[in-house]
């Protein structure tokens, strides 16, 4: 099954939204195969947001992402990367559609609650950045057949 990286950002931690967000992913049928809390530092954030280091908002983004420990998750499911990005919504919470995580919980382009990988390839790169191989687990949820048709799994 496809995998993606989700980060519950400091805005999710400080606003006590962790349970609500994890609940959405699980109810959807995505399987949690890795999850831990960690404090991010400048080194890992410069790697993770390498495409943004020259932007004027980068120092503020750094501070925001280090304002509390985060929760990193590996989610698995069919077409997981696309499904999770749809559930996450547009980057700016004010533009994200209602029903998405950012659309329901964020009014900000920076304090936007979650990160989700934007491609299968980046998902694999990002998972390797935040998890050791042994921190991602292989198991089959008992009720998978009620989430998918036989030819989908």
Answer yes or no: 115 catalytic: yes
Any contact of residue 91 with ligand TYD (CB under 6 A)? yes
Distance of closest approach, residue 123 Cβ to ligand TYD, in angstroms: 12
Any contact of residue 82 with ligand TYD (CB under 6 A)? no
- Both tokens of 144, joined, read 């998978």
Please give the Cα distance from 114 to 103 (Å, whole number): 11
- Both tokens of 120, joined, read 């299968």
In the set 6, 112, 130, 131, which binds ligand TYD (CB under 6 A)?
112
In the set 115, 123, 127, 130, which binds ligand TYD (CB under 6 A)?
115
How many residues form the binding site for ligand TYD (CB under 6 A)?
9
- The residues carrying an active-site annotation are 115
């Amino acid at each position: 099954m496809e995998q993606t990286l989700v980060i519950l950002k400091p805005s999710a931690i400080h606003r006590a939204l962790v349970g609500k967000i994890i609940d959405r992913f699980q109810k959807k049928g995505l399987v949690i195969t890795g999850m831990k809390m960690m404090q991010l530092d400048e080194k890992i954030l410069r790697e993770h947001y390498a495409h943004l280091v020259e932007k004027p908002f980068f120092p503020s983004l750094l501070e925001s992402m280090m304002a509390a420990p985060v929760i990193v998750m590996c989610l698995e499911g069919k077409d997981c990367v696309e499904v999770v990005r749809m559930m996450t919504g547009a980057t700016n919470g004010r533009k994200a559609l209602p029903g998405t995580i950012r659309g329901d919980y964020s009014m900000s382009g920076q304090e936007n609650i979650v990160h989700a990988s934007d491609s299968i390839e980046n998902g694999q790169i990002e998972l390797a950045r935040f998890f050791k191989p042994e921190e991602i687990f292989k198991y089959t949820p008992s009720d998978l057949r009620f989430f998918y048709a036989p030819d989908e799994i």
